Each structure stands twice: as structure tokens, then as C-alpha cells.
Amino acid sequence: MADLNIEIYGSQVLRQKAEPVQNIDAKVKKIIQDMYDTLHEKSGLGLAANQVGILRRLVVLNNPNINEDMALINPEWKEVDTEKETGEEGCLSVPGIYSKVNRFRKIQVTAQDVQGKQLDFLADGLLARIVQHEVDHLNGILFIDRLSPTRRLVLASKLSRINSNGDNG
């Protein structure tokens, strides 16, 4: 079991855009397995490769609708309608910080699985929130970037402590 190191707020890799996966080879499959191990060890809902210092468009998550692990390679999403909902989010890379984030309630997701098979599915509720959160990571965006300026100001001292204690990049 490989427990990968989680990059913490302040690490530059969290602010970089991940590169598409060109070839789903043994190395990519090993990274995905290591990411699953890390996700389970840390009791997370989802994990993007940026969060473990790998700039590839890979996401692993536990699909809350069927309680099964799911890997998304080169994931993309688009909103199905304009309806949004607010829900509390946290992040393994921003430990101890939780806040309400407004996200699309329903999205259409496209990606590949570990066998290279094209995935195309509708996600709503918690699954939609997880996918949006993790794809944000692949684009160098953290959930705290989606908060109001007032809420970020309230969290500023906590974020500063995380940054000064956890900057490993």
C-alpha cells in the first residue's frame, strides 16, 4: 500500500494546471492505485493528482451513489442547467477548513476509465460536487478560491497558519 504525501495549501503544485494523460500505461495505473490507497487512508471523498504532487489530469473518488471507487482520467464537465446548490466542502490539501460553496447541482461528465473506455454520465448532488471540486484542483483552483471575499477574510489567519506550517513546495 502506497500512502502518498498530500500537498498542503501553500504548495505551488496546487496552483498549477495538470497536463492531459496521453497514454494509460502501467505507470498511470500504479499512480491511480496509490491515489486510491491515499484517499482511503485519509478518509477523503475525492483526490486529484495535483494533491499528491503529480501534474496529470487524474482524479479518484468514491461515488457516493453506489459506494464504489471511480477513477476519472482527463475528466471534463459542463452544467446541465443553471440550478446551483450550496454545500459544505473541505479539502485534504486545506486541513481543518470547511465552508459552504455554491456549485452546479447537475453536470454532464466525460472522462476515461483505467481501461481507456470513454465515460459519459450525468452527475448530481454530492457526486456532482465532488467532480467539480476535483476538476478545479486539476485547473489549479482550490475551493477557498470560490468563497466570498468576506469569508476568505474570516479564514485568513487559519489559512496563513496552514501555509506557514505546511508549505512543502
**Which residue of the set 7, 76, 83, 134 is catalytic?**
134
* 134 is an active site residue: yes
Q: Any known ligand binding at 137?
A: yes
Q: What is the CA radius of gyration of the chain?
A: 15
What are the beta bridge partners of residue 58? 73
User: Is 133 labelled a binding residue?
Assistant: yes
Give pairs for 84-93: CB < 8 Å, separation 24+: 87/126, 87/129, 89/129, 89/133, 89/143, 90/143, 91/133, 91/142, 91/143, 91/144, 92/6, 92/42, 92/44, 92/47, 92/51, 93/6, 93/7, 93/8, 93/9, 93/11, 93/14, 93/51, 93/137, 93/142
Binding-site members are: 91, 133, 137
Binding-site members for Fe cation are: 91, 133, 137
- Which positions are annotated as active-site residues? 134
